[in-house]
Structure 1
């Protein structure tokens, strides 16, 4: 029996969709390519009337400038801003996964007074834009004497990320049948052993997905960091803003700015490349085990 050939209409539709997907990819990837291209291009070539799509002549001086020069007199340099960002980001990541995991298990597995109100409160908090609470947040952090500290910024990030992670993890926990734990308990496991040996491994994809969200939100956040930090405690995003504004003679050193932007983007890309395979593998493994 010969295989049925696809119709000409289906082939044309598939070709048009592929072309549209290629256009979307090029439009999305070109700004990233241009940023990297400019980071290796001398400033004299960047400001010329004839831009080059290949960094020739090639230079790494932009990266040296971005790494070693202070953003402004009395402000931090890139290594200290990187260390501050890593400290805040991984602190928020660990605390978010811990608190959100416990809260999502409590909401999905137990019935208690105020449960519905708690779920509604989680949804309502997500609807409020962070910019609407800037003055309130600033006043609270100032009253707690945590202004211009990484701990104060981490608390603000934690409060902003936890509602979404609780809501997301709740769906993962609710999607794992409680019958699996009951079957494990029949086989001799205690309730806690059944949860950690059966249910918890199936929640790994959810933990990784919410961890990616918490990491990216904390790493890329700019507004609150600019509001709460100054001087030597800047994280990477306000550091880049100050670095661009501190150009000598009023001319922006676009090569160094693009080098700094590339250095800031690299950890997020590396983190995603590390965890995306495990997230996909966990999803498939959970489907098989279920």
Structure 2
């Protein structure tokens, strides 16, 4: 005797038409997101006479690497740096900013999430207030401070400015990650024989890895793409990549758009490499650090 067939559960069924529509919308959004990047790469291989022609082409008729050679070897403007030196300057500043910001933000987030002390809420509000102030509103103040410290046109001076600008958000974000890890996990590890530092580093810290990676990505992108303060504080041989790219525009010469697109593509490569490195560690941190039941 066969069992009676169960009636379908109530609810709106996901029909084939709905799936096709959602997939089509997803493809349109994906195409709109990817096309600007593709167009940048396409123009980087396109000769200058094809770029300024009235007939745009999705694929260059006569691909060339001359734009990349120009972007790599020639300074964007007379008396200024070339791409390798600008890349070295940007990478040095980014490494300093990420390491220092994560160190101070990590310690501050632990204090705010794990301890109760007088002025704690006022400190959190102050972080939010500082974060809401636009950097452009403090341009002249920052300029005077850096000038008084004799750090104008130096990597250390711009690194301090970038670190100060990203620390408020990194503290706020890491505080949420630390607060989301139950303190009972450390207590259970201490019952199993770990000391308090061992319980923190073996149990809590691995669970905070996704937060550290996320805030590290934010600090990296903020420092890598920052333009205003770099333009204000750096010049000549110490330009960062965004200010170096801006130097391709000249009032006396025609802009070499092929070299600009090639330089833009080169600037994106370190970012892609960075994300390829950290995405695995961010996923791995979500499942590490658990204690045995």
Shorter-chain-normalised TM-score: which range? over 0.9
Q: Distance in 1 between matches of 2:291 and 2:42?
A: 44
Alignment CA distance shift 1:180-1:251 (3 Å): same
Between 14-23 and 54-63, report the one with greater CA deviation: 14-23
The alpha carbon displacement at 1:12 in A equals 3.0
Q: Distance in 1 between matches of 2:61 and 2:166?
A: 43
Q: Counterpart of 2:248 in 1: which secondary structure?
A: helix
Q: Which residue of 2 aligns with 1:230?
A: 235
Tell me the matched-pair count: 288
Contact preservation (8 Å) 2:204, 2:289: no
Q: Which residue of 2 aligns with 1:92?
A: 97
**Matching of residue 274 in structure 1 with residue 286 in structure 2:** no
Q: Which residue of 1 aligns with 2:221?
A: 216
TM-score if structure 2 supplies the norm length? 0.92
**Matching of residue 149 in structure 1 with residue 145 in structure 2:** no
Q: Which residue of 2 aligns with 1:262?
A: 265
Q: Distance in 1 between matches of 2:34 and 2:119?
A: 47
After superposition, give the CA deviation of every residue in 1:153-174 in whole Å (9 maximum; x if it has no partner): 1011000101101111111111
Select 1:129's aligned residue among 112, 134, 138.
134
Q: Distance in 1 between matches of 2:23 and 2:289?
A: 31
Q: Distance in 2 between matches of 1:16 and 1:289?
A: 45
Alignment CA distance shift 1:3-1:49 (3 Å): farther
Greater helix share, 1 or 2? 1
Q: Which residue of 2 aligns with 1:244?
A: 249
Listed as ranges, the matches of 1:1-290 within 5 Å are 10-245=15-250, 250-285=253-288
Please say which structure displays the higher CA radius of gyration.
2
After superposition, give the CA deviation of every residue in 1:5-58 in whole Å (9 maximum; x if it has no partner): 997774433332222221111111111000000001111111111111112311
Q: Distance in 2 between matches of 1:95 and 1:134?
A: 22
User: What runs of 5+ residues in structure 1 fail to find an aligned partner?
Assistant: none
Q: Counterpart of 1:244 in 2: which secondary structure?
A: coil
Between 273-282 and 261-270, report the one with greater CA deviation: 273-282
Q: Counterpart of 1:148 in 2: which secondary structure?
A: coil
User: What runs of 5+ residues in structure 2 fail to find an aligned partner?
Assistant: none
Alignment CA distance shift 1:287-1:44 (3 Å): farther
Contact preservation (8 Å) 2:131, 2:168: yes
